Amino acid sequence: MKRILPTALSIILACCSSTKPIQLTETQLNPIPVGAQEQTIKQKRENLLEEILEQNPCKHIKKIIYYEDENKDTFCKLIEQEYNATRAQSTKLWHGLATRQEEYAALTLSSRQQTAQGKQSICVIFPKLFQIRENKEDILSCIVDHEYIHAKDNFEGIILCNEKITNEIIKKIKPLNYQDILELRAYSHQLEQIEKGKRKTSKSCKKEAIYKYTEAYIRVRDQKNKYANQALKQAPYFPFPDIPNDKLLLYRKENLPKIKEQLRKYLKESFKDK
């Protein structure tokens, strides 16, 4: 014990000695209240989320929560209430979401056990959504055209091979694979809204949806089970890589016979030297 104290003390002193003297500038003498700007940004984002839910009511969603420290308590209470969870479990879930915020812009939370049982989902929106999607149409595309579909699928369940997909079936086809089917459905809907002109997104939002759709399409195709095959049949677009132009194209499946010859010619031209 005697040896620990001086060591700890020396570490603190070392930190202090490296601190440079502070030069006061005009801004520092007239400080802006700490966190004032952040508060405005947070408030603006939360107001927008409230407005979205108000203007686009969704019976499949319990609440949209903006992932921000101050909302931790609201989130935990909701999880405890909805899933009969303890505070320790809800807190663990909240902190677990923090590890996803670099990767995801939004998440729809639901219980796998309650798939297709009329249970509402909780939608979590990360600050990343507002960093990568600045215009409202893009944000609506991500929330209303994508996350709402997840909530609807969780609430109602989906029909594949004339069976309603329940937790029992999901366990048979493995949960991770089911997630790919859900993503394929959500990106299909998101892209159809863009194609119909109902959602006027930015190019980058559309491009990302095309890329993610293709990723999900390939993953579902590779599953090779009857449910995945049926989900693939229901997907509206066929992805086609335009390699020379470094582009990814999506064709409506019903248009494929019409452009078959065109595609064949393209493939012949593109690969004739290889």
Considering the complex, state which of residue 153 and residue 183 has its C-beta at the smaller distance from Zn ion.
Answer: 183
Considering the complex, state which of residue 154 and residue 223 has its C-beta at the smaller distance from Zn ion.
Answer: 154
Collapsing DSSP to helix, strand or coil, 62 comes out as strand
Q: How far is the CB of 35 from Zn ion (least distance, A)?
A: 32
Give 104-164 as a DSSP string. -SEEEE--GGGTTTTPPEEEEE-HHHHHH--SHHHHHHHIIIIIHHHHHHHHH--EETTEE
Residue nearest to Zn ion (CB): 186
Q: How far is the CB of 168 from Zn ion (least distance, A)?
A: 23
- Rounded CA separation 1/23 (Å): 40
Considering the complex, state which of residue 138 and residue 183 has its C-beta at the smaller distance from Zn ion.
Answer: 183
- Rounded CA separation 52/66 (Å): 13
Burial class (CB in 10 A: 0-12, 13-18, 19+), 118: exposed
Q: How far is the CB of 123 from Zn ion (least distance, A)?
A: 11
User: Please, are residues 157 and 166 in contact by the beta-carbon 8 Å criterion?
Assistant: yes
**Can you give the binding site for Zn ion, defined by CB under 5 A?**
183, 186
DSSP state of 19: P
Q: How far is the CB of 146 from Zn ion (least distance, A)?
A: 6
* Long-range pairs for 157-160: beta carbons < 8 A, 24 or more residues apart: 157/115, 157/116, 157/117, 158/116, 158/182, 158/185, 160/226, 160/227, 160/230, 160/231
Nearest to 123 by CA among 98, 146, 102, 103: 146
Q: How far is the CB of 183 from Zn ion (least distance, A)?
A: 5
Q: How far is the CB of 132 from Zn ion (least distance, A)?
A: 15
Q: How far is the CB of 185 from Zn ion (least distance, A)?
A: 9
Collapsing DSSP to helix, strand or coil, 36 comes out as helix
Considering the complex, state which of residue 76 and residue 153 has its C-beta at the smaller distance from Zn ion.
Answer: 153
Considering the complex, state which of residue 76 and residue 139 has its C-beta at the smaller distance from Zn ion.
Answer: 139
What are the b/e assignments for 49-81, b being 16+ CB within 10 Å? beebbeeeebebbbebbbbbeebbeebbebbee
Considering the complex, state which of residue 82 and residue 208 has its C-beta at the smaller distance from Zn ion.
Answer: 208
Considering the complex, state which of residue 76 and residue 121 has its C-beta at the smaller distance from Zn ion.
Answer: 121
